[in-house]
Amino acid sequence: MRQQIVAGNWKMNKTLEEGIDLTKAILEKVEKPNGLVVIAPPYPYLRELGKMLKVRKHFHLAAQNCHEEEKGAYTGEVSADMLASVGCEFVIIGHSERRQYFKEKNDVLAAKVNVSLARGMRPIFCCGEPLHIREADTHVGYVAKQLKASLFHLKEEDFRKVVIAYEPIWAIGTGRTATSLQAQEMHQAIRVLVSKKYGKIVADETPILYGGSCNAQNAAELFAQPDVDGGLIGGASLKADDFATIVAALK
Ligand code: PGA
């Protein structure tokens, strides 16, 4: 069976002290997860929280972003090399907030995917459509373009390390979750696209996570869908009880 994953994206929340408390509480409440638990705190706490996670099986550290260049005069930016050197195993790439607020385009995201993989980290690549695209019923084509432009240049060997997160933008932080049927349909469509490019075996092994107002109440139904392999969790990852319930919902 392919990997099941719950990843918590803390975004720009929590102080160091609060982050340590939250991590402690999560480590206490999550017992024997049925998959991988990935935590993506803000950059300044990666090292500290990574040490706490490292001692526990199934727990992994992620960054929320990285710069697309290897190094150089990019004041304020953080490279994939730096992230790998503080223990990150995963990097979230192409989150819709990065696309929207920081104008990250598909070609830049492809470069970020490349530098992450070159430093031995697994990209959690986010895709997903805005509301008007969903309403026009062109969401599958829209997501297909995102995948083609930023992921499908990869060699099979590299693609096998990628985790895809489908996050309809209209569902992120809005409390408006995709129905389990909408999620399943899109995840299945994504798996078909991957299969056309890399073959059925690779497609069957690619974890595809759902993100967008996934919470303690709806996680079990979403994760029960055959092509939903876990979730990328924003708001609900900031509360240990909710996050632990979501992890427990993995099939
Ligand atoms: P949300 O965010 O769970 O708060 O909707 C999900 C995400 O942005 O990854």
CB count within 10 Å of CB 179 equals 11
Nearest to 63 by CA among 129, 28, 112: 112
| The pLDDT of residue 174 is above 90 | no
CA distances from 151 to 50, 79, 117, 124, 178 (A): 27, 19, 11, 11, 24
Whose C-alpha lies nearest to ligand 1, atom 2?
234
Per the CB < 8 A criterion, the answer to whether 11 and 46 are in contact is no
Tally of structural domains, the chain: 1
Query: Is 89 marked active-site?
Result: no
Residue 154 neighbours by CB under 8 Å, 6+ apart: 113, 117, 162
What is the overall mean pLDDT for the chain? Answer: 97
| The pLDDT of residue 178 is above 90 | no
Residue 6's pLDDT band, with cuts at 50, 70 and 90, is: very high
Q: Which of 5, 6, 9, 39 to mutate to test the pocket of ligand 1 (most atoms within 8 A of CB)?
A: 9
Nearest to 177 by CA among 191, 185, 167: 167
The active-site residue out of 67, 95, 139, 187 is 95
The active-site residue out of 97, 139, 167, 187 is 167
Task: List the CATH number of the domain containing 38.
Answer: 3.20.20.70
| pLDDT tens-digit readout, 190-200 | 999 999 999 99
**Domain extent at residue 187:** 5-248
Residue 199's pLDDT is 98
Query: Is 95 marked active-site?
Result: yes
Q: Which of 233, 239, 246 to mutate to test the pocket of ligand 1 (most atoms within 8 A of CB)?
A: 233
The torsion angles phi and psi of 6, rounded to 5 degrees, stand at: -120, 125
Q: Is the pTM of this model over 0.85?
A: yes
